[in-house]
Structure 1
Amino acid sequence: MSSFIQIPEDAPFSTEQRAWLGQFLSNLLAGAASAAAAPAGPAVPVTILWGSQTGNAEGLAKKLVKTLKKGNFEPEVFDMAAYDKGRLPQEKNLLVITSTYGDGEPPDNAAELYNWLLSDAPPRLEGVQFSVLALGDTNYPDFCKCGIDFDTRLAQLGASRLFNRIDSDVDYDDPFKQWSDGIVGLLAPAGAPSSNGAAVEQVETGYSKKNPFPSPIVQNFNLNGPGEKQTHHVALSLEGSGLDYEVGDALGVYPQNPPSVVDEILAALPFNTKVTVPLPDGGEVSLRDALISNYDIGTLNKSLIQKWQARSGSPFLRSLVQADDKKAWDDFCWGRDLIDLVLDYPADFTDAEDFVATLKKLQPRLYSIASSPKAHPGEVHLCVGIVRYDTFGRKRGGICSTFLSDRANGVQPGVFVHSNKAFRLPENGDTPVIMVGPGTGIAPFRAFLEERKATGAKGPNWLFFGNPHSKSDFLYGEELTAFQKDGTLQKLDLAWSRDQKEKVYVQNLMVQHGAELWKWFQDGAAFYVCGDASRMAKDVDAALHTIAEQHGGLSKDDAAAWVNQLKKDKRYLRDVY
């Protein structure tokens, strides 16, 4: 038997990761033949729980199950909403994969388990081993909060960490591999060959997030009437891509940064900028091209400012980093981009490669798909609100929205389909459907109505839509009116918040029509919400509770239980951001 290989303590790994890597290398050197000949032992039980708003965590959980089935493991995987929490104290090895959305909130399917776990109700969990993979986005202040809360609470209840929590930014492939490989290595029965994730990973073919399809734009126009507001209808061709989508899915779009801003940054940098630099995924291009197409220059976050401060010598940035105050971080990052750091807090970089090493990869933006493939074969449609604003004396805008509206002429954006199984129409076409989608939240519901019409679904449809002004902001107004005339859309309620003295929103109309909505629910209606998570979706949820109390005669607790049951039954689905 080979001696155990010690990984140096200053290696960039946690204690558990060093132990696993040492064991892995020792087994490797001992020879595959002896490992294969050793008795495998009993299968190791593993329970995987996922909390997912858009499908990423669910996809990773199912990927992990496939990896575990290649080895001597007995995996079970559960949607958190369907998990029997009574079995929690009996779990041997518990793996949690969860995202965070909104203001640090759990995904809808994780909310009940999350709230229960953080209450005084759960029992002690001594004897349970666990590990958490948290998905998040460092551009949001409560980065990975849901996963952090699961990890902290499980430990407080006496469970022991099998493997340290890993917090993953938007690019989660490498952190997931590090986490899953580490867990598999630690859990593999002694003497049994562990099923290393890399050994079983399928080679990806075709167009995907890693290999986006260059999609020609076939339509691109403003849906709003006269005024400052812009909401673009963008139709892209999928001909020849092999990409398929279903209504409820999202389209990932890779944007480009404004060349004018990139040129301003280059002019202010204190080193030779006419050089090539490495790209986040390998290869190299000119610094200018890299800043236009590959690196994020449109957002500031805590990690970037910490790296910048170390090179800038700015007393203000030093005080910001040392204070580590959440409100101060939020106040400073709001309305500022990379150009502000470059001009206002000059930093010393060794060279261009050192400079891009501080930046994040430019990420794709996900847009709810606004079309049915049955109504528009070979195309995919988006409804994009164009974000423009002035801060600190500069005109700014959303990177992807202004790319599509201002800079995409003659460009073929890289796109991919992001499946969202958590936002699907009912399988039974007779089911009544209620949709709440103000502003660009109309997108998936235009697709739903096209799909219901194309499939001949008999169930009635009810749409709540809202925007500031009826004359300029009735997105897809002609199409919605046509759906009413041909019988596809039975009820259309419109909330124009600024057309009268009293502001009216979709949630107000829901409460006004509470009696009829309650009847639709009693008839088995499915309820869908799309749009802003922080305000609108919370207000709509509160309206739903009010309707259950006023027209169902339920107490507050019973109304909450009814709403939770709707979620469990997949009759209350949200696509919120």
Structure 2
Amino acid sequence: MPTGTPDACFSHPVTTFFIMSSVPLIPESAPFNTEQRAWLNGFLAGLLSRGESMTPGAPVPALQEKPRLLIAFGSQSGNAESLAKRLGKEASSRGFAARVAGLDSVQPSTLTAEQNVLVITSTWGEGDMPDNAESFWSGINQNGSSPTLGGLKYSVLALGDKNYGDTFCLAGRKLDERFAELGATRIHPRVDCDVDFDEPAKLWSEGVWKVLNESPATTTTAPAPAIAEVSIAAPAAEATGVAAYSKKNPFPAPLVTNLKLNGANSAKDTRHIAFSLEGSGLVYETGDALGVIPQNCPEVVAGIIATYELDPAALVPLPDGGEAPLQEALQKYYEVRNFLGRKPPQAVSAAEFVGSLRKLQPRLYSIASSQKAHPNEVHLCVGSVRYEQDGIAHGGVCSTFLADRLPLGEPTGVFVHTAKHFRVPANPDMPMIMVGPGTGIAPFRAFLEEREATGAKGKNWLFFGDQKRKHDFLYDEQIHQWLKDGHLTRLDTAFSRDQAEKVYVQDRMMQAASELWQWLEEGAHFYVCGDASRMAKDVDAALHMLIQQQGHKSADEATAYVADLKKTKRYARDVY
């Protein structure tokens, strides 16, 4: 219920609706569905924008049909969903009968009844659709039964990461092309966003509103080109004053713990990292991620400067405005990597060199702690990335920054990245099945701490795997204490290199197929965290197979069962 003094109110036997002077708000508790509530919001916004009287007893103006707008999202980590919900609020204030929905709740056959559709989607894995977009994508690609969308207007905002090369924004590109193939009219070019998506998304939405506001539902709109080149100016300096800590304004969190979790003879270097949040006011939920602002390796930066024969003190522009000496700019603000050391074919200036570089981006890590158990700290489980290529040593920018270069007590910028799709069950009595090999254990350590702190009674089952039990059993003591106390109901481990034949978590799932099926039938939530390209796909295949075998289902029926798990938020993945 909005606060403040209402200008007017409508009475209903169940609910009272308060209408503020700026934006009309229908509470979510009102007895309407999403589309009806959106229509009423748009209608009331339209009245207020014309200055119509809303005082009790005043004649009610004739109702005017508002153009319908569906904002559909495909989201894996929550970014696309957040953008869609933000856009939905703006759409309602602009007078549209807008509704926001995940693509898993949109039936392709119903698109023919829509007027305008805006699609916001991410891409994950090797160019795959997000989990909640898979069924929709399958539905609009069925030969002979895909809907004809000749009367539909649409536009697509695609989220991705250019580091993934040819698969950059592939899910959005596929949806954009398929809508066009089915006859829909593209009203604004698709915009493909890199990891820093706020400004491109804003420019896309401004372009969409311009077209929709100028084009009534009955007007024929000429198709827009497939993709727009987005030019982003440096943002203006923010007004002075204290702002909430965020990606644009990270909190300087001191490093308080850097503990190697692997044994001395392990081939891996996995760290338990803890930051102090004292005085930050930052709040996180289990399942969220922590954004960490890294710095490049000074030796790598020095090597680049020497190879290009540049002046380290030369002032160069920074990605978000302002300038700094080249050495500082390369260490703190631009993405760089080690290379073979060959001198470039022609001389470049320091400014020209940084002009070819991308902005240094924060890295996201699954949070490995519950704030209920650690009120003033946030924990991470970070695998240090180290490898050689062409005889040159390389290291992960942020993982080696945390492991090697950030001293204890020194701060670096952090912010909370919300992941609403990845949460412990809302019902504390529901069972949990967690599959998290390697650093994929991170959110499940947090889940188990959360359930312990809240006294949740639901059963907990953990699948964990790594290379060698003796050297790579991350959080071994804590996990076995939970097992001893009964908080962890069952533990299945797969240490791939402890025997001649490699064993993985998906193999342990199949060995426990009967009991795992029973847990699912009891309402268990199934979670996966870790490698997207192999592990997550193998686990998903095993899940389909055991459902088919234990549930006596056909392949199609097993697929439908898994799709229902995803739709009801009982199958969630945090994969990378």
Correspondence 1:278 to 2:277 = no
Amino acid at match of 2:157: L
Query: Which residue number corresponds to residue 457 of structure 1?
Result: 456
Which one of 91, 94, 111 corresponds to residue 88 of structure 1? 111
Query: Which residue number corresponds to residue 260 of structure 1?
Result: 299
**Contact 2:149 2:182 (C-alpha < 8 Å) held by counterparts:** yes
1:273-331: CA deviations, max 9, x gaps?
42111211122111111100110013xxxxxxxxxxxxxxxxxxxxxxxxxxxxxxxxx
More displaced 10-residue stretch of structure 1: 562-571 or 271-280: 271-280
Q: Distance in 2 between matches of 1:347 and 1:117?
A: 51
Q: CA deviation at 1:537?
A: 0.5
Q: Distance in 1 between matches of 2:246 and 2:563?
A: 35
Query: Which residue number corresponds to residue 30 of structure 2?
Result: none
**Contact 1:256 1:293 (C-alpha < 8 Å) held by counterparts:** yes
Structure number with higher relative contact order (C-alpha < 8 Å, ≥ 6 residues apart): 1
1:102-125: CA deviations, max 9, x gaps?
000011011110122233231111
Query: Which residue number corresponds to residue 436 of structure 1?
Result: 435
**Runs of 5+ consecutive residues of structure 2 not aligned to the other structure:** 1-48, 53-60, 217-237
Amino acid at match of 2:443: P
Which one of 147, 150, 153 corresponds to residue 129 of structure 1? 153
1:199-244: CA deviations, max 9, x gaps?
xxx9993100000111101110100001231100001111111100
Q: Distance in 2 between matches of 1:347 and 1:89?
A: 57
Q: CA deviation at 1:348?
A: 3.7
Q: Distance in 2 between matches of 1:346 and 1:65?
A: 51
Amino acid at match of 1:150: L
Amino acid at match of 1:71: R
**Contact 1:44 1:188 (C-alpha < 8 Å) held by counterparts:** no
Amino acid at match of 1:147: G
Q: CA deviation at 1:267?
A: 1.2
Query: Which residue number corresponds to residue 53 of structure 1?
Result: 76
Q: CA deviation at 1:68?
A: 1.6
**Contact 2:262 2:473 (C-alpha < 8 Å) held by counterparts:** yes
Query: Which residue number corresponds to residue 225 of structure 2?
Result: none
Query: Which residue number corresponds to residue 305 of structure 1?
Result: none
**Runs of 5+ consecutive residues of structure 1 not aligned to the other structure:** 1-34, 192-201, 299-336
Correspondence 1:562 to 2:561 = yes
Correspondence 1:372 to 2:370 = yes
**Contact 1:44 1:189 (C-alpha < 8 Å) held by counterparts:** no
Query: Which residue number corresponds to residue 187 of structure 1?
Result: 212
Q: Secondary structure at the match of 2:479?
A: helix
Q: Distance in 2 between matches of 1:505 and 1:368?
A: 22
Q: Secondary structure at the match of 2:411?
A: coil
Q: Distance in 2 between matches of 1:468 and 1:391?
A: 23
CA RMSD of aligned residues (A): 2.0
Query: Which residue number corresponds to residue 289 of structure 1?
Result: 328
Q: Distance in 1 between matches of 2:99 and 2:70?
A: 5
Q: Distance in 1 between matches of 2:290 and 2:397?
A: 16
State the 4+ residue runs in structure 1 displaced beyond 6 angstroms. 35-41
Q: CA deviation at 1:359?
A: 0.7
Q: CA deviation at 1:264?
A: 0.9
Query: Which residue number corresponds to residue 220 of structure 2?
Result: none
Q: Distance in 1 between matches of 2:533 and 2:201?
A: 28
1:378-407: CA deviations, max 9, x gaps?
100000001111111111111110000011
Percent of paired sites with the same residue: 55
Q: Secondary structure at the match of 1:87?
A: helix
Query: Which residue number corresponds to residue 505 of structure 2?
Result: 506
**Contact 1:72 1:188 (C-alpha < 8 Å) held by counterparts:** no
Q: Distance in 1 between matches of 2:559 and 2:251?
A: 44
Correspondence 1:168 to 2:168 = no
Amino acid at match of 1:360: R
**Contact 1:442 1:465 (C-alpha < 8 Å) held by counterparts:** yes
Number of matched pairs: 492
Query: Which residue number corresponds to residue 399 of structure 2?
Result: 401
**Contact 2:301 2:331 (C-alpha < 8 Å) held by counterparts:** yes
Which one of 355, 358, 361 corresponds to residue 359 of structure 2? 361
**Contact 1:537 1:576 (C-alpha < 8 Å) held by counterparts:** yes
More displaced 10-residue stretch of structure 1: 77-86 or 230-239: 77-86
Q: CA deviation at 1:413?
A: 1.4
Taking a change above 3 Å as real, the CA distance of residues 441 and 190 of structure 1, as seen in their structure-2 partners, is: closer
Amino acid at match of 1:49: A
**Contact 2:293 2:412 (C-alpha < 8 Å) held by counterparts:** yes
Which one of 237, 259, 264 corresponds to residue 276 of structure 2? 237
